[in-house]
Amino acid sequence: MAVLWLDEISAGDLEKVGGKGASLGELTGAGLPVPPGFVVTAGTYRSFIEEAEIDDELFDAVDVDVDDSSALAEAADRAQELILETPFPDELREEILESYAEIGDGEAFVAVRSSATAEDLPDASFAGQQDTYLNVTEENLLNRVRECWASLFTQRAIYYRQEQGFDHSVVNIAVVVQQMVDAEKSGVMFTSHPSTGDPTMIIEAAWGLGEAVVSGAVSPDNYIISREDGDVDVTVAEKKVMHEKDEETGQTVEREVPEDKRTERVLSEDEIEQLVELGERVENHYDQPQDVEWAIVEGEVFMLQSRPITTIDESSGEAAATGATIDVSESVTDGSGSAQAQAARGDKPSSDSASGEVLVDGLGSSPGTVSGAAQIVRKLDDLEKVGEGDIIVTEMTMPDMVPAMKRAAGIITDEGGMTSHAAIVSRELGVPAIVGTTNATTVLEDGQIVTLDGDKGAVLDGETVEPEEETEPVEEVRPQAPVKPMTATEVKVNVSIPEAAERAAATGADGVGLLRTEHMILSLNQTPEKFIEENGEDAYIKELIEGIRGVADEFYPRPVRVRTLDAPTDEFRQLEGGSDEPKEHNPMLGYRGIRRSLDRPDVFAHELEAFRRLYEMGYDNVEIMLPLVNDAEDVYRAKALMKDAGIDPEKRKWGAMIETPAAALSVEEMAEAGIDFASFGTNDLTQYTLAVDRNNENVADRFDELHPSVLRLIGDVIETCREHDVATSICGQAGSKPEMVQFLVNEGVSSISANIDAVRDVQHEVKRTEQKLVLDSVR
């Protein structure tokens, strides 16, 4: 038997039918309303390649050096070609088509999905691309099945398996063929609270097919139902888009939701009741809280998928302390925000985490309190003396210092502000840090035992923290459970060094709102021009691909907004080849960001080529963000270069940063130029609006991202972008501040990207602000 019907399958058949197939079979067997379908088993894939005798050639083809991008691309092409061009044996073809004829009226639209047998391993991308084809009919069914098989051999999947040491020849794939439900409404449901496990059901619902909710294309309505007293708390969202079947082409398309339905509540009381009943049945069946995908058509409820909720944090005192309530935010942050957020504002929260004589003070730029021996680093050779648990004291950190920063217990610098290299990297590594002390390298001595309080921004004499309480370096940080409150505004995370990707992904953020590429380049220790001169263009492109891929993989399929290069010339000057950099009186007003890229399209072309290859590899979660644009002309010129590089701006998501008043004032024209999003770089927007050098300690007290003029520019941009259906976001440091979060949510921003350690607080601040908005609207 090449296929098994869903009602013939149970959970124990994982090896034969893969994770999705087994789960659907189990649900069908339990009498739950699952649309009918069958699974082309993993064994069928295996006999297909063996009987056609393409197996050896297939596995040989993918046995390549995956760090060689062109070899990897060739391997994937060859392997996929082998599968796609091998005809189906007659018997198999007939069996699949006959099974299809039994679904619905024989002309049904079906969904064809790969169901990997290794899907439940820690990294799902191990198994393949998890391809899904919707609205498939008899005509292209067989090709779609073969395409699912071929998805085992995308560049991304081959790369991952090789990296993880898995043997390509032992991975199998099954394919689920299931009747499509032409959903009028659909969404997801948590049968118990996803972080506390409390008896609270949470339903998210939107119009049309469920892909819009699952992919995050739409902000769904939110229904919170107490299973104790049946109380329902409803938050109706503005649902701008829906996915549905195009009657002519049969394809799934994204359409605008008609004006009158946008703010209409999706679920009736009766439908909620049906869903709750279903949720209880499925939870009882598995004896475990479930995360369910559901759909409703003509009043009938269907279950499309059910998985155990893996985010319930049993050990979390934080969650447990909230008792039976749904919103854990109140217990996590107080109204003034966390110590971290206060530190980001430059406040000095009073905490008795450490006490003693204050030797030096500065800006607490990465939270946590540690004690250790100070090691003064004046030149790179000094880094050797930095051991585990030591505290680096230096004028300013440099990319070469990252390995030592990872093993250090803390970092103190003389120079720099909250957005300096030291501040950004230490925050991402989770190492407590204080920047901008002005005099730490002269006041502190080599070997002196000090305590660094990264919240207060103070360095104290002596040891006040036992070593075991110290913040662990990044490799050992236990990822936070991805417990997050549901918010209509997305909360993303900023990443600047690929090493921080895992820690960033573990926050449960909705994606990366800013991936800076400068740090990847700075760590090459050569300017791009010099690196290319010595190592060739391809080597440079590969460096970029590697850095971006590490993050894109970690977050897949969550979106990762990658910013094209934006390094001021003074940062490049310290690198080899830096003597060729123009000498600028004021680098912040100089040759950086899109200005440099447009001036050197030959160098920019390599960045774009890296994006093109990433798209080709299947990283469709990568988005392109252009820094320091001033007007629509910058955008049009960059767009033309994207096209020249073989990137279709209509197909890919791309946008611009709003970092200058000029950009803020010309966002309407940029929207007409086709940007999908505008992202506030408030570090620069504040600097340029207020004429306050962001790195100058003398005017640090004037650097105010919440200045009314900055806020006015931001508010106007959000309003204009809403009118033009352009998403808005923030990726400057200010996105981690509660006041800014409140302002942005009230203005209707689409997403907020925060520092890794602030994501959790921002999620709760967003939630609280959204709830207040809803309450105010009904009061």
Which among 474, 508, 470, 476 is positioned nearest to 492, based on CA atoms? Answer: 508
Round to whole Å and give the CA distance between 610 and 573: 24
Helix H or strand E segment including 173: strand 173-179
Contact stretch for Mg ion (CB under 5 A) within 105-113, 294-302, 372-380, 657-665: 657-665
Contact stretch for Mg ion (CB under 5 A) within 126-134, 471-479, 512-520, 682-690: 682-690
Tell which one of 220, 279, 732, 738 touches ligand PEP (CB under 6 A): 732
Which residue, 212 or 685, is less far from ligand PEP as judged by CB?
A: 685
147 belongs to the binding site for Mg ion (CB under 5 A): no
Burial 583-607 (b: 16+ CB within 10 A, else e): eeeebbebbbbbbbbbeeeebbbbb
Tell which one of 274, 517, 523, 682 touches ligand PEP (CB under 6 A): 682
Pairing of strands 232-235, 221-226: antiparallel
Which residue, 361 or 684, is less far from ligand PEP as judged by CB?
A: 684
736 belongs to the binding site for ligand PEP (CB under 6 A): no
Q: Confirm if 517 and 548 have CB atoms less than 8 A apart.
A: yes
In angstroms, give the least distance from the CB of 494 to Mg ion.
11
Q: If you compute the radius of gyration of the chain from its CA atoms, what whole number of angstroms results? A: 27
Burial 225-252 (b: 16+ CB within 10 A, else e): bbbeeeeeebbbbebbbbbbbeeeeeeb
DSSP state of 526: B
428 belongs to the binding site for Mg ion (CB under 5 A): no
Q: Verify whether residue 721 is a known catalytic residue.
A: no
Structure tokens at 612: 């093109």
**Phi–psi pair at 528, nearest 5 degrees:** -55, -45
The total of other beta-carbon atoms located within 10 Å of residue 365's CB is: 29
In angstroms, give the least distance from the CB of 683 to ligand PEP.
3
> Is the preceding omega at residue 557 within 30 degrees of 0, hence cis?
yes
Which residue, 181 or 664, is less far from ligand PEP as judged by CB?
A: 664
Active-site residue, from 148, 193, 243, 731:
731
369 belongs to the binding site for ligand PEP (CB under 6 A): no
**One-letter-per-residue 3-state SS of 401-457:** HHHHHHHCCEEEECCCCCCCHHHHHHHHHCCCEEECCCCHHHHCCCCCEEEEECCCC
In angstroms, give the least distance from the CB of 716 to ligand PEP.
18
Q: Confirm if 417 and 704 have CB atoms less than 8 A apart.
A: no
Tell which one of 684, 761, 765, 770 touches Mg ion (CB under 5 A): 684
Contact stretch for Mg ion (CB under 5 A) within 114-122, 484-492, 574-582, 659-667: 659-667
**Phi–psi pair at 734, nearest 5 degrees:** -60, -20
Which residue, 136 or 514, is less far from Mg ion as judged by CB?
A: 514
Which residue, 659 or 761, is less far from Mg ion as judged by CB?
A: 659
Neighbouring-strand partners of residue 364? 434
In angstroms, give the least distance from the CB of 513 to ligand PEP.
9
Q: How far is CA 218 from CA 131, 133, 207, 357, 562, in A?
A: 21, 20, 9, 53, 22
Burial 159-182 (b: 16+ CB within 10 A, else e): bbbbeeebebeebbbbbbbbbbbe
Tell which one of 559, 681, 715, 738 touches ligand PEP (CB under 6 A): 681
Tell which one of 156, 168, 245, 516 touches ligand PEP (CB under 6 A): 516
Which residue, 470 or 659, is less far from ligand PEP as judged by CB?
A: 659
Which residue, 543 or 659, is less far from ligand PEP as judged by CB?
A: 659
Tell which one of 374, 514, 629, 744 touches ligand PEP (CB under 6 A): 514
In angstroms, give the least distance from the CB of 765 to Mg ion.
23
Helix H or strand E segment including 391: strand 391-394
Tell which one of 681, 715, 735, 738 touches Mg ion (CB under 5 A): 681
Which residue, 44 or 679, is less far from ligand PEP as judged by CB?
A: 679
Three-state DSSP class for residue 208? strand
| Site for Mg ion, residues 563 to 622, rule: CB under 5 A | none
Which entry of ligand PEP, Mg ion, none binds 326, CB below 5 to 8 A by partner kind? Answer: none
DSSP state of 723: H
Which residue, 492 or 768, is less far from Mg ion as judged by CB?
A: 492
Which entry of Mg ion, ligand PEP, none binds 682, CB below 5 to 8 A by partner kind? Answer: ligand PEP
Which entry of Mg ion, ligand PEP, none binds 419, CB below 5 to 8 A by partner kind? Answer: ligand PEP
Which residue, 511 or 681, is less far from ligand PEP as judged by CB?
A: 681
Q: Verify whether residue 421 is a known catalytic residue.
A: yes
In the sheet that holds 363-366, the strands lie side by side as 358-361, 458-461, 449-453, 369-377, 391-394, 410-413, 433-435, 363-366
Round to whole Å and give the CA distance between 1 and 145: 16
Which among 383, 352, 348, 357 is positioned nearest to 449, based on CA atoms? Answer: 357
| Site for ligand PEP, residues 557 to 586, rule: CB under 6 A | 566
Q: How far is CA 493 from CA 112, 121, 553, in A?
A: 33, 25, 15
Contact stretch for Mg ion (CB under 5 A) within 281-289, 454-462, 601-609, 676-684: 676-684
235 belongs to the binding site for ligand PEP (CB under 6 A): no
Contact stretch for ligand PEP (CB under 6 A) within 23-31, 301-309, 552-560, 681-689: 681-689
Which among 357, 345, 349, 425 is positioned nearest to 392, based on CA atoms? Answer: 425
How far out from the chain centre does Cα 524 lie? 25
419 belongs to the binding site for ligand PEP (CB under 6 A): yes
Which entry of ligand PEP, Mg ion, none binds 514, CB below 5 to 8 A by partner kind? Answer: ligand PEP
Contact stretch for Mg ion (CB under 5 A) within 47-55, 232-240, 296-304, 654-662: 654-662
417 belongs to the binding site for ligand PEP (CB under 6 A): no
Which among 355, 167, 192 is positioned nearest to 280, based on CA atoms? Answer: 192
In angstroms, give the least distance from the CB of 121 to ligand PEP.
35
731 belongs to the binding site for ligand PEP (CB under 6 A): yes
Q: Confirm if 545 and 610 have CB atoms less than 8 A apart.
A: yes
Round to whole Å and give the CA distance between 461 and 488: 46
Which residue, 554 or 659, is less far from Mg ion as judged by CB?
A: 659
| Site for Mg ion, residues 58 to 117, rule: CB under 5 A | none
Round to whole Å and give the CA distance between 410 and 455: 12
In angstroms, give the least distance from the CB of 684 to ligand PEP.
3
Which residue, 38 or 688, is less far from ligand PEP as judged by CB?
A: 688
Active-site residue, from 168, 193, 243, 421:
421
518 belongs to the binding site for Mg ion (CB under 5 A): no
337 belongs to the binding site for Mg ion (CB under 5 A): no
436 belongs to the binding site for Mg ion (CB under 5 A): no
Round to whole Å and give the CA distance between 50 and 44: 10
In angstroms, give the least distance from the CB of 96 to ligand PEP.
51
| Site for ligand PEP, residues 620 to 679, rule: CB under 6 A | 659
In angstroms, give the least distance from the CB of 382 to ligand PEP.
27
Q: Confirm if 370 and 439 have CB atoms less than 8 A apart.
A: no
| In the block, residue with structure tokens 């005809």 | 87
Residues annotated as catalytic are 421, 731
- Interacting residues with ligand PEP (CB under 6 A): 419, 514, 516, 566, 659, 681-684, 731-732
- Interacting residues with Mg ion (CB under 5 A): 659, 681, 684
